[in-house]
Amino acid sequence: MTDLLFREDAYLREAKGRVVAITSEGGIVLDQTVFYPTSGGQPGDSGALIWDGGAIDIATAVKGEADSVVLLPAEPAALPSEGIVVTQSINWDRRHRLMRVHTALHLLSVVIPLPVSGGAIASDKGRLDFDMPESPEDKAALEDDLNRLIACDMDVSAEWITDDELDAQPDLVKTMSVQPPRGSGKIRLIRIGVGTETADLQPCGGTHVANTQEIGRIRLGKIEKKGRQNRRVYLHLE
């Protein structure tokens, strides 16, 4: 099991870690990591590992066995030995842009209050697939609503509930195709806003900005028809 440092502090850019395993494919597993692994539509982090006598670029991170995170080298190179301590650092500019897009997508699900059937995040844009038989009549109005929400200076925070508490509040789950992971006894929620001023609250394991103003202005892109009941809505960082 890898201790997920990014879950407690999404702004942590660098940390030490001890190599606990090298996978048969040449992936590196640390006892703790700042690298977010690919999941929930959010790409894994890229970055680098440095140790006494060596260094290696990391192309991405993925989930491994037994709740581990596997760091995948960008190209073949000498790997650190098991047991040694490395310094790990992420590509912060890319991560922060992913955080901005991810939080913006949560707010997109507020201005389009329909079930979500899919989504994807990139460093310059993101998209959500909605259960939406017809395209919105006024895309410009949706874009204005989204940017007004972003400008509301709302804090973004994480909290935890139990499986039973989530079962008692099924409306918290907006995604139709992906359900929150269960089995650990607790589920992470991301809240945008505070108390009665909450704009959004939903299960999410990804990384987010601390305040909506960090997102910056958003431009809505094309809206594609992806089936009789499905519309794909893109947003872009400006």
Comparing 10-14, 17-21, 184-188, 203-207, the range with the smallest average pLDDT is 184-188
Q: pLDDT tens, 9-61? A: 999 999 999 999 999 999 999 999 999 999 989 999 999 999 999 999 999 99
Q: pLDDT tens, 54-103? A: 999 999 999 999 899 999 999 999 999 999 999 999 999 999 999 999 99
Q: What is the mean pLDDT of the segment spanning 166-188?
A: 73
The answer on pLDDT for 121 being more than 70 is yes
The answer on pLDDT for 175 being more than 80 is no
Q: What is the mean pLDDT of the segment spanning 132-138?
A: 88
Handedness of CA 103, 104, 107, 108 (dihedral sign): negative
- Whether the pTM exceeds 0.85: the reply is yes
